[in-house]
Amino acid sequence: MLRIIGTWLLLTASTLMYAQTPTDAERLQGYRITGEQVQFIFDENIYGVAPTRVSVTGAFRSWSTDMDAAEWQLTRQKDYWALSLDNPGYAAIPVQSPFKFRINEGVWMDPPATAANSKGGNLV
């Protein structure tokens, strides 16, 4: 039985150019949007974990529990994990789509308590 305790919602953002390294706010909210691209960001220091793999799921994936879908796996960067996806017109991932990160063999990660974009236990 799947029990979702908390998720994030994907909010709109301005199309300002951003630096390569995500800001503290972007790390906390779990994503950033630039133009027609969304980048999911998982900062293990915020969550206090050291995962061997990270994936993202949400309403845009029908809350799939498939940890092996390569197109939804984040890759390790210097000090965070990231996945960049083209999302023209927000067609693939609509605005305010709830999402969550999963690590290792499928552990669901609840949003940080200080994430401003937390709604109903999800990130948005």
Q: Domain of residue 40: give its range.
A: 7-111
27-66 tens-digit pLDDT: 999 999 999 999 999 999 999 999 999 999 999 999 999 9
Q: What tokens were used for 93?
A: 């991932």
In the chain, the N- to C-terminal Cα span, in Å, equals 23
81-116 tens-digit pLDDT: 999 999 999 999 998 899 999 999 999 999 888 888
User: How far is CA 40 from each of CA 1, 3, 97, rounded to the nearest angstrom?
Assistant: 26, 22, 12
We report the CATH number of the domain holding residue 72 as 2.60.40.10
pTM: 0.82
Examine residue 117 and state whether it is found in any structural domain, yes or no. no
Examine residue 116 and state whether it is found in any structural domain, yes or no. no
Amino acid at the residue 72 = W
Examine residue 37 and state whether it is found in any structural domain, yes or no. yes
